A = this chain, B = another copy of it.
Amino acid sequence: MSNHLPTRPMLRVLAVASSLLLAAPLAAQGPVATTYRSAADRIIAAAQADSAAYNRLADMVDRFGNRLSGSASLEHAIDWIITEMRGDGLANVRGEPVMVPVWVRGEESAELIEPRRLSLPMLGLGGSIATPPEGITAEVLVVGSFDDLAAHANEARGKIVLFDVPFTSYGQTVRYRVDGAVAAARVGAVASLIRSVTPNSQRSPHTGVMAYADSVRRIPHAALTLEDAMMLHRMQDRGERIVVRLTMGAQTLPDRESRNVMGDLVGRERPDEVVVMGGHIDSWDVGQGAMDDGGGVVVAWEAVRLLKRLGLTPRRTIRVVGWVNEENGGRGGEGYFTAHQDAVDQHVLAIESDGGVFSPEGFGFRGSDSAFAIIRQIGTLLEPIGAGSITRGGGGSDIAPLMRAGVPGMGLNVDGTRYFWYHHSYGDTVDKLDPQEMARCVAAMAIMAYVVADLPGGLPRD
């Protein structure tokens, strides 16, 4: 994922949520849970009977590797998904055209020149401009925060600013990746660097998207490893002069056509009404993009395949989508919304998985209070696999345009302990995932989508 929807706590919602917590035993006995318990148990048993989701993800990422927007590997992966989805018997399998930005990393390197020479593993940040071909060689000013930069603003001119910021939460720490170049350029820096946004490192740099501001000079922006950022900070604390040469050949090329890839399990009564679910098929250009977010696409896809195999055809259509360009543009989510604008009211629910497919814990939901009460009943069906925690707030950036238009939305919540160890790095590979945990994600997605798609009265929007 590139970011999360901001949580906007509202007193009214909190009050309602509290009262619902008290009503939990009632929810557990609700008619929805009773009606669908048998189907849910079948889904759980079938999902856990094999390692289909893990194997399919491994097959995909071993074949195509990572899949940055604009890359050939992304298009090959989409072609393959279309072929495979058709083989699974999904209906309306297609790629819907989306124009995506094309950022190409090029050759890049960072080298410590003073106080001693050392090659520094690095990754340019997505959207960054290049340096001149000979690189930028400059003294480094290490700061620990935006406030620290402000306090040393008069020392930054002509230097490379390094933000050595320890990982607290992703939301807090990612600000330096996104906004660091603007902050550094404002005080006269010639380039900016960050400590990779991760709590754990084996001298592994982590990339991700960054932003410029129209009114501020653009400077190159890249991530060093946790280890080297800390070392440079120690050197500065010892009073040593630090000089780094940063060389980046990044380019932003003209937009190219890519696709949102999708297929349907057509509803038996109201085929025009849709529960849409999935993840994003693009990734950063390092590692395999297995956690972020090949796994999200595959568990949604496997959920639909499983329902089909079990003969569980709901009243409404379930659509699995691999959105494109979540990482550096969000064009897939916007493109899906635009292409389906006339059918937005027929989207009864949107579900996104973009936090890794580790052990599922439940879903975070945004929608009406009465819908939330129903979703919590469905949550009781997920308790046998430990995924019954239904909370307020959630979603995902690919489904955000639908949600802004009033479609109820939810995100799959998983054990996030290790997600940011590997996020946007060479370490985002399929071996970090567990076949049984992925199978439980498939079951959770399948049950949630199936029950909502089958509810006689749908999901009330209030």
Contact = CB atoms under 8 A, between A and B. Distances in A.
Interface of A: 58-59, 62-65, 115-116, 118, 121, 200-204, 226-227, 230-231, 234-235, 238, 287, 421-422, 425-427, 429-431
Given A227-B431, A231-B429, A431-B227, A116 B204 contact: no
A202 B116 contact: no
Contact of A118 (B65, B203, B422): B65
Nearest to A64: B116
23 contacts: A58-B234, A59-B238, A62-B234, A62-B235, A63-B115, A63-B116, A65-B116, A65-B118, A121-B426, A201-B202, A201-B427, A202-B204, A202-B421, A202-B426, A202-B427, A203-B287, A203-B425, A203-B426, A203-B427, A203-B429, A226-B431, A227-B429, A227-B431
Given A64-B116, A227-B429, 6 more contacts: A63-B116, A65-B118, A121-B426, A200-B202, A203-B204, A203-B425
A115 to B, nearest CB: 8
A327 to B, nearest CB: 19
A50 to B, nearest CB: 15
B431 A230 contact: yes
A368 to B, nearest CB: 43
Contacts of A226: 431
A425 B65 contact: no
A290 to B, nearest CB: 10
Contacts of A204: 202-204
Contacts of A429: 203, 227, 231
Contacts of A234: 58, 62
Contacts of A121: 426
Contacts of A200: 202
Given A227-B429, A431-B226, A431-B227, A202 B422 contact: yes
A201 B200 CA distance: 11
Contacts of A116: 63-65
A200 B59 CA distance: 22
Nearest to A204: B202
Contacts of A421: 202
- The CB with the most chain B CB atoms within 10 A, among A63, A202, A421, A426, is that of A202
A202 B426 CA distance: 7
Contacts of A287: 203
Nearest to A229: B431
> What are the nearest 8 A-B pairs in CB distance?
A202-B427, A203-B426, A202-B204, A202-B202, A227-B429, A230-B431, A203-B427, A62-B231
A244 to B, nearest CB: 15
A203 B430 CA distance: 12
A59 to B, nearest CB: 7
Contacts of A230: 431
A421 B418 CA distance: 15
Contacts of A62: 231, 234-235
A430 B203 CA distance: 12
Nearest to A421: B202
A238 B61 CA distance: 14
A202 B431 contact: no
A238 B427 CA distance: 23
A79 to B, nearest CB: 15
A215 to B, nearest CB: 37
A226 B422 CA distance: 14
A7 to B, nearest CB: 30
Contacts of A427: 201-203, 227
Nearest to A227: B429
Contact of A202 (B64, B65, B425): B425
Contacts of A227: 427, 429, 431
A369 to B, nearest CB: 43
A28 to B, nearest CB: 40
A21 B63 CA distance: 57
A204 B421 CA distance: 13
Contacts of A422: 202
